[in-house]
Amino acid sequence: MAEQEDRAARYDEVLADPRYQKLVQRRGRFTWTLSIIMLVAYFGYIALVAFDKSLLARPIGGDVTSLGIPVGVGLILLAILLTGLYVRRANRDYDPLVDALRRGDKE
């Protein structure tokens, strides 16, 4: 029981820490923005598949390659790019904040 009380006290401390609020706000804003970009891009693509198949089948310039190829491959690359962006930001900006909170450093 003592351990649980310790932890509850520890959580109350973190909750009152402005760095925690900063972390949650910043990370929340960034992750939801990235999630929405991914959702819009993917369901935009699915909407094209659903409603306008001919647009994706249209050849680019005089080539055989259709518009759907760069769009599709682009979506795969976008997924990888967004995960990379998040990991870079988290390593650089969020981890130091989390570490400070975990150690219980005073500001």
Sites of contact with another protein (CB under 8 A)? 7-8, 10-11, 14-15, 20, 23-24, 27, 31-32, 34-35, 38-39, 42-43, 45-47, 49-51, 53-54, 56-59, 63-66, 68-69, 72-73, 75-77, 79-80, 82-84, 86-87, 90-91, 95, 98, 101-102
- Residues facing residue 66 across a β-bridge: 59
DSSP string across the chain: -HHHHHHHHHHHHHHH-HHHHHHHHHHHHHHHHHHHHHHHHHHHHHHHHHH-HHHHHSBSTTSS-BTHHHHHHHHHHHHHHHHHHHHHHIIIIIHHHHHHHHHT---
Task: Provide the minimum distance between the beta carbon of 73 and another protein in the complex, in angstroms, as a whole number.
Answer: 6
Least separation in angstroms between CB 2 and another protein: 15
In the complex, minimum distance from the CB of residue 57 to another protein, in angstroms, rounded to a whole number: 2
Report the residue number, 69 or 106, with the smaller CB distance to another protein: 69
